[in-house]
A and B are shown apart, each in its own frame.
Chain A
Amino acid sequence: MTLDELQELSRQIRIDVIKSVGTAKSGHVGGSVSCAEILATLYFSAMKADPALPPEARDKCVLSKGHAAPALYSVLAHRGYFPREELLTLRKLGSRFQGHPDMKKTPGVDASTGSLGQGISIAVGLALGARLHKSQQKIFAIVGDGEAQEGQFWEAMMSAVHYKLANLTVIMDNNGLQIDGTNEQVMSLGDIRAKALAFGFEVIEVDGHDIPQLLNAYAVKTQGPKFILAHTVKGKGISFMENQVGWHGKAPNAEEMEKALAELDGQKSLAAVGA
């Protein structure tokens, strides 16, 4: 995909998030749209993610911040794992699209997540597994910043470095907000870059909405595990949701949905129509 196509895909992911969460009348919009570029670049550039490949030949991505599931489902639909229309069944009884990722129900989902701090540990296990298989498979974990308040998060960080997992990349969607307020207000995370460095990660800091920066970060070769600190905006792309704590776990009503989709429609001219 070209840069413009990736940009357009990110916009499409945002549209899918608004539509599916809005239709479900429940879900997490803010943290889903903040990782749209991260997911678009992973699944269409950094990762071998073609559903036609046998599962063992694909790279793996664990969405440790599982509440961003609507964005993951969207990128998987674009990759061809299932029809895009089906995304509108999100969170409904019997749907393949659970509120949080369920690897047993949704094709293309590499790990069941949702309870914070656990996905990054699963990714460590996947990376150890890939190494034991002597496979070139790459493992990615997308984590939230609020998620780093979980003690287990740091257990996982410690073990990734201990096992020298050069096949593991942890990407933090650092949008600065959590349910009860800003990270600063709720439980300060301090200097995440310094902490990740102190744990022994190689750290690359990027604007998480800047596609070339993300692609460059993926391309960097490291001796051990890599930590991409991606600064993002919660609610990105929808002006009235941007940096608003209230849009963590709230679904847009019909009017808000219309407004959000109109805004996203307006952003079409900014990118080439590729998707």
Chain B
Amino acid sequence: MTITVKEIKAIRIATGAALAELGAERQDIVALDADLAHATMSCTFGEKFPDRFFNCGIAEQNMMCVAAGLAISGFTPVACTFAMFGAGRAYEQVRNSICYPGLNVKMVLSHSGLSVGEDGGSHQAIEDISLMRTIPGMTVLVPCDANEARKALRAAVDLKGPVYIRAARLPAPVFTPDDMPFEIGKAITLKDGGDIGIIATGLMVYQALLAAEELEKAGIQATVLNIHSIKPIDRQAIVEVARKTGRLITVEEHSVIGGLGSAVAEVLADECPTSLKRLGVQDRFGQSGTPEALFEYYGLTAKHIEAAAKDIVGSKK
């Protein structure tokens, strides 16, 4: 695809608006937050549907289990907070009270990854994909822009069972078309090329596309695969790009341990052993800085992806 940026919009703004939209359509949807409603943007829902909105205060563990109780009552609860507190602090509540009984709770956790920025390492969840995808029965979605975020939430509430949506804080380019289909478990090939496969998720998808454009100028044709659904993962799409290109890069603003890179490596190990370079946070914590500075520092920009691709293709071409 040719990259066309329609606007700059944060994923959390999109999930907030989508939640309110869904709330108007469906009476069974209730929302919960833990004193971050104006950051996760669940406040949009709260203002429209105050009777179906529960601010649980700064008590994420309680919130997740209250959501479980509402799910048992037949509602479709959407629990919102930061990824650090929802997937981290309340991990065991999500595991035991929501996923173990397979309850229909959706977790829309924002401020994930390095892109949290200035708040620093204490608030930058870089383990959340890993934590969430290891729980049996959990679906893990990582939208790459505001458009995809809206579709992801819609798909999540239509699915019966627990879903984690990882939402970024940062205002980011909206580049996927409105009519691009979104199917849980189905990766999207954004660009087709036979020299190398770049598999990305979340905010890194846009960076991967920018890198692919630059690579093209240098005569390297890259496939860019958008994995918005980390679990279930599109095994077929990964194997296809592995067979076609023979060399892969994964990119994520998450630890390389347990995230997209690991998920792809698992598929490759099972089905199609292929050389793989995992770009991400290399087993260390984040720190304060602007998101741009952090992406630069941790090696997660289009330039870094381009350099890694050239290095790999150059060494094997």
Known A-B contacts A103-B101, A104-B102, A155-B59; A122 and B73 likewise in contact (beta carbons under 8 Å): no
Q: Which residues of A contact B97 (CB under 8 A)?
A: 111-112, 115, 118, 121-122
Cross-chain contact A126 with B69 (CB below 8 angstroms): yes
Cross-chain contact B96 with A118 (CB below 8 angstroms): yes
Within 8 A of A (CB), among B238-255: none
**Is A159 close to B, CB under 8 A?**
yes
Known A-B contacts A117-B61, A155-B59, A158-B59; A125 and B73 likewise in contact (beta carbons under 8 Å): yes
Taken together as a complex, chains A and B put the C-alpha atoms of A102 and B100 apart, in Å, by 8
Within 8 A of A (CB), among B19-74: 30, 51-52, 54, 56-57, 59, 61-62, 64-74
Cross-chain contact B73 with A112 (CB below 8 angstroms): no
**Is B182 close to A, CB under 8 A?**
no
- Please give me the residue from chain B that is nearest to A139 by CB atom: B69
Of the candidates B51, B70, B101, B102, the one whose C-beta lies within 8 Å of that of A125 is B70
Q: Which residues of A contact B68 (CB under 8 A)?
A: 111, 121-122, 125
Interface size on B, residues (CB 8 A): 29
Q: Which residues of A contact B100 (CB under 8 A)?
A: 102, 112
B65, B71, B72, B77, most chain A CB atoms within 10 A: B65
Instruction: Produce 1/0 per residue, B93-118, CB < 8 A to A.
Output: 10011001110000000000000000
Taken together as a complex, chains A and B put the C-alpha atoms of A25 and B220 apart, in Å, by 66
**Is A53 close to B, CB under 8 A?**
no
**Is B92 close to A, CB under 8 A?**
yes
B51, B57, B66, B74, most chain A CB atoms within 10 A: B66
**Is A107 close to B, CB under 8 A?**
no
Q: Which residues of A contact B92 (CB under 8 A)?
A: 115
**Is B75 close to A, CB under 8 A?**
yes
Of the candidates B62, B75, B93, B101, the one whose C-beta lies within 8 Å of that of A132 is B75
Known A-B contacts A111-B101, A112-B96, A122-B97; A129 and B73 likewise in contact (beta carbons under 8 Å): yes
**Is A152 close to B, CB under 8 A?**
yes
Q: Which residues of A contact B61 (CB under 8 A)?
A: 117-118, 121, 151-152, 155
Taken together as a complex, chains A and B put the C-alpha atoms of A128 and B72 apart, in Å, by 11
- Please give me the residue from chain A that is nearest to B93 by CB atom: A118
Of the candidates B57, B72, B77, the one whose C-beta lies within 8 Å of that of A111 is B72
Within 8 A of B (CB), among A58-112: 60, 62, 102-104, 110-112
A60, A117, A124, most chain B CB atoms within 10 A: A124
Within 8 A of B (CB), among A136-166: 151-152, 155-156, 158-159, 162-163
Cross-chain contact B62 with A152 (CB below 8 angstroms): yes
Q: Which residues of A contact B64 (CB under 8 A)?
A: 121
Q: Kindly provide the distance from the CB of B60 to the nearest chain A CB, expressed in whole angstroms.
A: 9
Q: Kindly provide the distance from the CB of A173 to the nearest chain B CB, expressed in whole angstroms.
A: 19
- Please give me the residue from chain A that is nearest to B52 by CB atom: A132
Q: Which residues of B contact A128 (CB under 8 A)?
A: 54, 66, 69-70, 73
Which residues on B are within 8 Å of A, measured CB to CB? 30, 51-52, 54, 56-57, 59, 61-62, 64-75, 77, 92-93, 96-97, 100-102
Q: List 7 A-B contacts (CB under 8 A).
A: A122-B68, A125-B71, A125-B73, A125-B77, A152-B61, A155-B61, A158-B57
Knowing that A125-B69, A128-B66, A132-B51 touch, tell me 6 more A-B residue pairs with CB under 8 angstroms. A111-B97, A112-B96, A121-B62, A121-B68, A127-B69, A129-B69
